Structure formats: structure tokens, C-alpha cells
Amino acid sequence: MDMPSPKEALPGRDTAMSIANRHFVNGNPVQPPFPTGMKTALFGMGCFWGAEKGFWMLLGVFSTAVGYAAGFTPNPTYDEVCSGMTGHNEVVFVVYDPQKITYTALLKQFWENHDPTQIMRQGNDVGTQYRSGIYVSDIEQDTLAQATRSCYQQALKQQKMGLISTEILPAPPFYYAEAFHQQYLARNPQGYCGLGGCGVKLAM
């Protein structure tokens, strides 16, 4: 799977997706502004339905939303992202209270609940939108992301697994996905998840 160039990418649109500003599980806002002191994080780890559920279950996470990031097409649709012609990744936007949960704890959830050695895929889900990615908003997040990647790479090497393919980039624009996708597994408990794990558990 190859990423499209900016010139090849679909044109998109000026209008953002319309979604309810209420988390289906906990009722908190999923769009800014958020309460004072909250921080945000952005992760891509395969199908965003299962990835989002893993984060909203963590104590200290205020809200979550799914969407698209790290591509070229403004305000893309799900079908456009799945075409491979937007460059976007399926991502989870996490709003968390740093007094209750650390960014390192979020990274632990990220690393241990998908296979970061796979390239442009997670299991049977194949495409550029399923790549592993951490999109950092400041130097502290970048430092912790890089450090934990080294820790997990060493552990994966001991298990004779491959090299981590995760991209660690400055946080790009985040585009909310369609309302249908938000907290999907809470609305559809028997729905498809598509995520596994890397088989490594580290004390962080």
C-alpha cells in the first residue's frame, strides 16, 4: 500500500462532519472546549472502533472520539479514507485528565493493544488507514513516545518479532468521523473490533 501524494489526494470539502457533542458512554463533550486542565492525545492503531473502546474504559479519560488524521484531504468521508486516496489514518482522539492518568499510561494502552510491527495493516484490515501512529502535541509527548517505542522494540526483539513501524509525528489536523462511527462498540456491542495485541506487557 502506497500513500498518495498531496496532488493525487481527493479534494475533500470545507464542511466538517456533524456529530452530537456528547459521548455515548459517559455523556461528556467530545468537541472543544474541554474543562480546564484537560489534555489531548491522538493515536492510530488499526480499526478505530476497538481502539476507541480501549481508551474510554481507562480511569482518567474524559472523552474519546474517532476520526481521520495525518493525510491530505480536508474533512474526508469514511468511504474516501477507505479508498486510500486521502492519505489519512483512522485515529482515536483522547481527552484526559493528567491528574488522574498519565500520558505514559495512554502509551501503554497504545503499544500493548495492537501489533506495531505490521506495516499499513492490522490483522485482516489492510490499507494506509490502518497504520500505527502516535501524533504528539508537545515535546513531552514526543519524548515519552520515543522512549516507550525503544522499550517495546527491545521487548519485541526478545520475542523475535519485527521492527516497529509506528510513525511518531507532530499532531496534524483531526477530522471527526461520521456520527455512526462514534463510540461504535457501545452502540453495537457485537460489532467488529479487529484489534489484537503485540504480546508484550511492560510495567510503565
DSSP string computed for 111-140: HHTS-TTSSSEETTEESGGG-EEEEESSHH
Residue 173 φ then ψ, to 5°: -60, 140
> pLDDT tens across 43-55, in order?
999 999 999 999 9
Residue 111 CB coordination number (10 Å) = 30
Say if domain 39-187 classifies as CATH 3.30.1060.10: yes
* Residue 132 · residue 167 · CB < 8 Å: yes
Using pLDDT thresholds of 50, 70 and 90, give the confidence band for residue 202: confident
Residue 177 has a pLDDT of 98
Model confidence band, residue 95 (pLDDT cutoffs 50, 70, 90): very high
Mean pLDDT in the chain?
Answer: 95
Determine which one of 47, 151, 193, 198 is catalytic: 47
Rg (C-alpha) for the chain, rounded Å, is 16
Q: Check residue 197 and give its pLDDT.
A: 78
Report the pLDDT averaged over residues 50-62.
Answer: 97
Of 164, 160, 34, the C-alpha closest to 93 is: 34
Q: Which residue has the cell 501489533?
A: 115
pLDDT beyond 80 at 131: yes
For residue 201, is pLDDT > 90? no
Identity of the amino acid at 195: L
Look at residue 193 in the predicted model and tell me its pLDDT.
78
Q: Given this model, what pLDDT does residue 77 score?
A: 98
Of the chain, the end-to-end C-alpha distance in Å amounts to: 33
Q: Is 47 a catalytic residue?
A: yes
Q: For 107-130, how does the pLDDT look when each residue is reduced to its tens digit (9 = 90+)?
A: 999 999 999 999 999 989 999 999
